[in-house]
Amino acid sequence: MKDEQGFALLETVVAVAAAACLAAAIAPGILKFYRETALEYESECLLADLRRTQSLSRMVAEQGWMYGQEEPNEQKAQIHVEGTYYAFRVKSQAGIVENVHHYLPLIHVKRKDKSESSGSGIIAFRQNGSLEDIGTDMMTLVMYCDGWEDEGRKIMISRAGRMRMKRMMR
């Protein structure tokens, strides 16, 4: 009976060691899959909300007059991009509507252009779709995963408001 118990313990140790070796071999692939999937998802979400902000900016007047009003009502769509989240904000006669989107774990965004080297800030568009207050020819937002800054996505917005996304490779 004692011999059988020792043999069962040995089988368990061998099985756990085999599972640990298998997990060590699979873990990097799973992490890479998460990085690529999370970056693709978050960059598509940010790009879609940037385009929605630009589209709403084309549809609303900067200042709208309502019947019987003594002062104009300011209407504006903008997106506030930070390192771990972004807030999509629309201000109209009905009030302020804000939608906050937090990035998935390990995902961050930073702004890279001549006017602002780190951090991000407010991105707004004029009625013709061009960027407001940029100061450079191109605004670049870099989305990356912690520890893999060189394998991210770049969202580039020209002064005229044209947007495109580019994958960064090693």
**Per-residue model confidence as pLDDT tens digits over 21-47:** 998 999 899 999 999 999 999 999 999
Return d(Cα 37, Cα 153) in angstroms, integer. Answer: 12
Enumerate the domain spans of the chain. Answer: 2-167
Cβ partners under 8 Å of residue 60, min gap 6: 75, 76, 77, 92, 127
pLDDT tens column, 130-161? 888 666 678 889 999 988 888 899 999 988 88
Tokens of 92: 């109209």
Q: Which single residue is written with the structure tokens 């009625």?
A: 127
**Structure tokens given for 141:** 């937002």
CATH, domain 2-167, list 3.30.70.360, 3.30.360.10, 3.55.40.10, 3.40.630.10: 3.55.40.10
Residues in CB range of 147: below 8 A, 6 or more apart: 106
- Torsion sign (Cα): 4, 7, 13, 17: negative
Shortest CA distance to 90 belongs to which of 69, 73, 103? Answer: 73
Is residue 117 over pLDDT 50?
Answer: no
User: pLDDT digits over 43-61, tens only?
Assistant: 999 999 999 999 888 877 5
Whole-model pTM: value is 0.76
